[in-house]
Amino acid sequence: MVKYESKSMKSILNQLKYIDSWFWCRYTLNPYQGCEHACIYCDARSERYYLHKDFEDKIYFKENATHLLDRKLKNSRTFLPDVVSLGGTCDSYQPAEEKFQNTRKILKILLKYKFPINISTKNILIKKDLDIIHQIAEETWATIAFTITTTDSDLANFLEPHASPPDERLETIKFISENFPKIHIGVNFMPIVPILEDTPENLNSVIEKSKEAGAEFILCSPGMTLRDSQAKVFLHHLKKYFKNISKPELYDTFLKLYGLGASQEVNREYFAKKIKEITKLCQKYKINTRVQRWYPSDFRNSNYKAAEKLFSLSYENPITGRINKDLYWAAMHIQNLPRSLGSLEASGDLNKLKYLTSKIRKIINPYIKTPNTMEKYFKK
């Protein structure tokens, strides 16, 4: 039996040092601690997140979450509206949400202060909040991504035992696509568990059915992390699984992809092979592999557009998985600028930026515009 306990928090909204280049979020927020979906591969099990050990059996609901959030957004003059990612170390729509409605209450606060959102989930319980999410989409921006890593219900039940079945997630994507066109809807095809989910049949099925359901994008990531306690839980289940299907040798095959368990990440050769297959399938079904971005109306507008251009160019070779680090880190820094590119250019400070090489300067030139009149208000 899952146990629920209340927990009073000191803070609720986490501001990232750099904006996430996959989900475009500046802030992250978890309405709960722990997750009763009990996904055996979940990275949130790793020690880096400092969560409790009985991760899936004891769920803490943050009783003062809405009070903290409202006070934070109301009293901060320099806390700029930007994308809030709900969930990360938990699913905001795990079964606890039906009882406590923390996520719904939080969404109302974000709507009040006009903060755009990005939600990743594996549960169709999100349907109950489509009224609020639709309002946020009309006011600012709202993205929903359903995690779908296989269309095989039996395999999904092994990997994600208490999440909604894949077919129900696909049906909900179709429902949102047809009835809430303002909501940006897509699929997180991650993690793609080696051997279990990386077959040509599964790769094609997930991408084809996602497209048919109306998904506007698919974020794909071959392989998965293997970190400390997370690896221990996952490998324990995996070994039993292969034994039960009378293929124990596949366990060693899996480990070899990680240097016999010595590495946290799958080897680059495997990654390159799989990302090549996935890229071709996404091209075949004409589906985007990036999430559309929200743009603020203040001085950050041109900065974010310039950064997005640099990010796109930085993923110069998706087949090998390599990125151009100069372009990537220039994009990261440009998103953090407290002034617009136009303002920096007008004052002669733009060329003083260390990462602004002649090549990068040439790329971002179209985004260097006249300073926004709102800039002084937002300047820290």
- The pLDDT assigned to 50 comes to 56
Decide if 299 contacts 375 (C-beta within 8 A): yes
Quick one: pLDDT at residue 378? 41
Say which residue, 227 or 342, is predicted with more confidence.
Answer: 342
Residue 10's alpha-carbon distances to 87, 270, 365, in angstroms, are 18, 43, 43
pLDDT at 379: 40
Question: What is the percent of the chain where pLDDT is above 90?
Answer: 77
For residue 30, is pLDDT > 50? Answer: yes
Is residue 373 scored above 50 in pLDDT? no
Nearest Cα to Cα of residue 160 among 41, 272, 283: 41
Residues 6+ away with beta carbon under 8 Å from 315: 323
pLDDT score, position 380 = 36
Q: Catalogue all structural domains in the chain, each as residue range(s) with its CATH number.
A: 3-284 (3.20.20.70), 300-378 (no CATH)
For residue 191, what pLDDT band results from cuts at 50, 70 and 90?
Answer: very high
pLDDT reported for residue 321? 60
Give pLDDT tens digits for 119-167: 999 999 999 999 999 999 999 999 999 999 999 999 999 999 999 999 9
pLDDT at site 76:
77
Among 363, 372, 374, residue whose Cα is nearest residue 334: 363
Say if pTM beats, i.e. exceeds, 0.75. yes
Q: What pLDDT score was predicted for residue 377?
A: 39
Count of C-beta atoms within a 10 Å radius of residue 237? 14
Q: Read off the pLDDT of residues 257-291 as tens digits, 9 standing for 90 and up.
A: 987 555 688 888 898 899 889 999 999 999 999 99
In whole numbers, what is the pLDDT of the chain averaged over residues?
91
Q: Is the pLDDT of residue 60 over 70?
A: yes
> What's the pLDDT at 202?
98
User: Is pLDDT at 93 greater than 60 in this prediction?
Assistant: yes
Whether the CB-CB separation of 270 and 258 falls below 8 Å is answered with: no
**376 — pLDDT class (breaks 50, 70, 90):** very low
Beta strands in the chain (DSSP E): 3-7, 14-15, 27-29, 32-33, 58-62, 84-86, 117-121, 142-147, 184-192, 218-222
What residues does 183 pair with on adjacent strands? none
Give residue 337's pLDDT band: very low, low, confident or very high (50, 70, 90).
Answer: very high
pLDDT of residue 198: 96
